[in-house]
Amino acid sequence: MWKLTSRFRPHINSNSWLIRHFSSGDATGLYGFDHLKTAKGFQRFVADAIERSGELVSYISGMPSSPDIIKAMDEISDTVGVCCVVDSAELCRQTHPDREFVEAAHKAAIDMNDYLHQLNTNQTLYAAVRKAEQDSNLLTEEASRTAHHLRMDFERGGIHLSPEKLDKVNNLTTNIFQLCSEFSGNIADDPGHVDIFPVSRVPRHLHHLLTPVYGGSPRGYKGSAHASKHRGFRIPTDQRTLSSILQWTSDEEVRKMVYVEGNSVPHANHGVLEKLIASRHELALMMGCNSYADFMVEPNLAKSPKVVTSFLQELSRTVKPKADQEFIAIRDFKREKCGDKSAELEPWDETYYTSMMKSSVNDVDTSVVASYFPLPQCIEGLKVLVESLFGATFHTVPLAPGESWHPDVIKMSLHHPDEGDLGYLYLDLYSRKGKYPGCASFAIKGGRKISDTEYQLPVLALVCNFSRASDSSVVKLNHSEVEVLFHEFGHALHSLLSRTDYQHFSGTRVALDLAEMPSNLFEYYAWDYRLLKRFARHHSTGETIPEKLVKSLQGARNMFAATEMQRQVFYALIDQMLFGEQPETPRDVSKLVAELKREHTSWNHVEGTHWHIRFSHLLNYGAGYYSYIYAKCFASTIWQSVCEEDPLSLSTGTLLREKFFKHGGAKDPAELLKDLAGKEIISVHGEGIVPATTCLLNELKL
């Protein structure tokens, strides 16, 4: 029932030591927890959570009233901090620069995970939850829904199984957790690299990302005996560097070498992935399902992998003609640029030539665009957005001594003039060594009703990795990074504006295939001139971003929409196939991936590459990656039907807040969608629900 959770839909919880809100002079601990003044405080954090949890378990054992059972169950993961410890430990582990804190947080997460296994197999708690569910007539609608979900969570953990089978399920769950950690660790530890000689083969503006090497010579180099001292670069093929090299490097051989290496490591993940597939399949069989995909999809809108696969295959057929046209256009552009009418288009060409085509057709210079998006101005954009939509302010509040984990961190309050503070958000936006490499929202504390007059406010952290250019102290975002910032802010608002009675449904704790809708919806604001003109200012002149430049950006946005949609469908189908029903004899996973790419994209598969062994979404999203496409469909429909006409009006914001955000996961997801955007936003397909695709396909001109 309680479990380590993925970052995009975190279990946001609190603890009995309510996070204090203080004047800037009051010393506290990390995230406002007094326990976390030192790394060793994690030990006390864990011990106190377990102790208080035991008290609540004893209370529930006495079988109080059903409403009190549900409230106490919610407190075990919220007020007590059972999951809060895990969430805080995860944020610390991913972002804290002090190794002592990181190691203490890692130990705390392991200790809490062991304790959570005990809670998840506690028959007394399970019996109490079943009693409460049966007494639904005594509960509020949200409490009744909470009881049902708690019972289902227990059973998805195997509590209804025999002791022998339950023990096996627990061992499998632990093994899966370890395999996921190993998979991620291998990606971080073995990003791969390519040595390139001479340095002139790499664009100068990327040199700061690379490490100089000596002693080699370029392929075919006719140098003298001094060739051994030739200077080159070691290019790491981590995702960030790989993307930059593929976009900016004119030397096709360099692009090919980097692409092949980056899509072939880490080799150790071949075995890890095979074990993960087998363990998840065995777990699903133990739970009475035909596949892990069945097990994971059933609680969501789609209900069945058959519904998901049918939806994806239909979408694939729809976009293929346009995607083939785009492929031909890119190929012809390459032939024109390189002067070879027979040149073939390869996967390592895509980013380079599509970027060039977007710039040339739409007159978009990415460095010019970035000059209008200094990071402080982008934060101003978030402030403008919440004030316009929700009548609220988003302002900096002082950090107490000990509360922050790095000098770059700032703390923001979302404040409404009539309602007071709505929640708090830490911003940790700058890149640094050892930090979580992507962008994500991390939970610290979720909203819940404490009494008729008191509400516990949500607290979370928004983590990004925006870096300063080598020649500037000002952090300027390219437009894709602006879009990422607004995407993550959508997740944050989902939590900050949620007003559920129970933390179990706070904010992003919704059906998996609905969770990404708010973030995708808020991406639209990063493209709308009506908002951009209110915050995008040139970093040196203060000039407002020209409307013509924004229109050029918009023109480039969907130039290769079919190709991108094909890619997302391909990713989702890999995810479904790998965790779907398994054949009697093990499959060649690399062969399956290659076949899916040939069938569902217009691009070649490069023999010897194994892109899937660094596809980390297979961990957090196992059998759920399709939810990204669901979210894009939902967001497009909501944008066009609710937001587009007047995207910054208080009436639009009120509709979003009252019909969607405030409910978190406390209402049926299908009803939430229909209530906000009308019944046409979804349709019943077999036993499940699929999103309407018309708005998205029209928007992308597909």
Q: Which residues of the chain have pLDDT under 50?
A: 3-24, 218-228
Co-location of 326 and 438 in the same domain: no
**DSSP 3-state helix, strand, coil percentages of the chain (rounded to 5)?**
55, 10, 35
What is the per-residue pLDDT for 188? 86
Residues 550 and 566 in one domain: no
Based on the fold, state whether residues 318 and 387 are members of the same structural domain.
Answer: no
d(C-alpha 415, C-alpha 412), whole Å: 9
> Angle 123-134/66-77 helices, nearest 10 degrees?
130
Helix (H, G, I), strand (E, B) or coil at 158: coil
> What sign results for the dihedral spanned by CA atoms 249, 255, 257, 261?
positive
Query: Phi/psi class of residue 395: alpha, beta or left (left: φ > 0; alpha: ψ in -120 to 50)?
Result: beta
The residue from 527, 555, 583 where one domain ends is 555
Flag whether 108 is in a domain: no
Taking the C-alpha atoms of residue 509 and residue 183, their distance in angstroms, rounded to an integer, is 25
Determine contact, residues 64/440, Cβ cutoff 8 Å.
no
Cα–Cα nearest to 448, from 66, 16, 31, 79: 79
Q: Which residues pair with 4 in a beta bridge?
A: none
How many domains are contained in the chain?
A: 3
* Among 540, 555, 570, residue at a domain's last position: 555
Q: From CA 127, how far away is CA 135, in angstroms rounded?
A: 12
φ and ψ at residue 272, rounded to 5 degrees: -65, -45
Q: Is residue 100 one of the residues assigned to a domain?
A: no
Find all residues with CB under 8 Å of 406, minimum gap 6, and list them: 95, 96, 97, 428, 432
The residues facing 461 across adjacent strands are: 426, 442
Written in H, E and C, the secondary structure of 521-541 is HHHHHHHCHHHHCCCCECCCC
User: Which residue, 137, 176, 185, 131, is CA-closest to 154?
Assistant: 131
Within-domain flag for 14 = no
Residues 541 and 573 in one domain: no
Residues 564 and 551 in one domain: no
Same domain, 401 and 521: yes
Whether 375 contacts 475, CB under 8 Å:
yes
Q: Is beta strand 211-214 parallel, antiparallel or unpaired with respect to 231-236? A: antiparallel
In three-state secondary structure terms, 197 is coil
- Find the domain containing 223 and state its range: 193-236
Size of the chain, expressed as the number of residues it contains = 702
Question: Is residue 268 one of the residues assigned to a domain?
Answer: no
pLDDT for res 21: 47
How far is C-alpha 568 from the chain's CA centre? 15
Residue 64 located in a structural domain:
no
| First-residue to last-residue Cα distance in the chain | 42
The span from the CA of 88 to the CA of 105, in Å, is 8
Contacts of 366 (CB under 8 A, 6+ apart): 359, 478, 479
678 lies in the same domain as 550: no
Whole-angstrom Cα distance, residue 409 to residue 382?
17
Q: Give Cα 111 distance to the centre of its chain.
A: 25
Counting Cα atoms < 13 Å in the Cβ hemisphere of 644 gives 10
* Contact present, 357 and 350 (Cβ < 8 Å): no
Same domain, 588 and 637: yes
pLDDT value, residue 208: 87
- CATH number assigned to the domain comprising residue 654: 1.10.1370.10
3-state secondary structure of 606: coil
In the numeric block, the tokens 């582990």 are attached to 93
69 within some domain: no
Count CB-CB contacts under 10 A for residue 658: 13
Q: Is residue 40 part of a domain?
A: no
106: nearest Cα among 120, 86, 82: 86
The span from the CA of 585 to the CA of 415, in Å, is 58
488 included as an active-site residue:
yes
Let me know if residue 178 belongs to a domain: no
> CATH number of the domain that 508 lies in?
1.10.1370.40
Q: Which amino acid appears at position 307 of this protein?
A: V
pLDDT value at position 229? 58
Q: Are residue 414 and residue 543 in the same domain, yes or no?
A: yes
Residue 212: strand pairing partners:
233
Residues 89, 109 contacting (CB under 8 angstroms): yes
Please give the structure tokens belonging to residue 685: 């397909």
Tokens of 664: 């978190």
Instruction: Report d(CA 334, CA 350) in Å as an integer.
Output: 10
- Domain boundary residue, one of 179, 210, 236: 236
CA distances from 686 to 304, 311, 482 (A): 9, 11, 39
| Domain co-membership, 650 together with 568 | yes
DSSP 365-398: -HHHHHTT-BHHHHHHHHHHHHHHHHS-EEEEEP
Cα–Cα distance between 385 and 522 in angstroms, integer? 10
Same domain flag for 461 and 582: no
Sequence-distant (6+) residues with CB within 8 A of 409 are 399, 426, 427, 428
Same domain as 517, residue 409: yes
Per DSSP, 544 falls in state B
The distance of Cα 18 from the centroid of its chain, to the nearest Å, equals 27
Phi, psi of 689 (to 5 degrees): -120, 135
Question: Tokens in use for 259?
Answer: 């692409």
Structural Rg of the chain based on CA atoms:
26
Beta bridge partners, 459, equal 424, 445
What is the SS3 assignment for 252-296? Answer: HHHHHHHHHHHCCCCCCHHHHHHHHHHHHHHHHHHCCCCCHHHHH
* Catalytic annotation, pick one of 75, 90, 488, 699: 488
Which strands sit side by side in the sheet containing 410-416, from one edge to the other?
Answer: 393-397, 410-416, 420-430, 459-466, 440-445
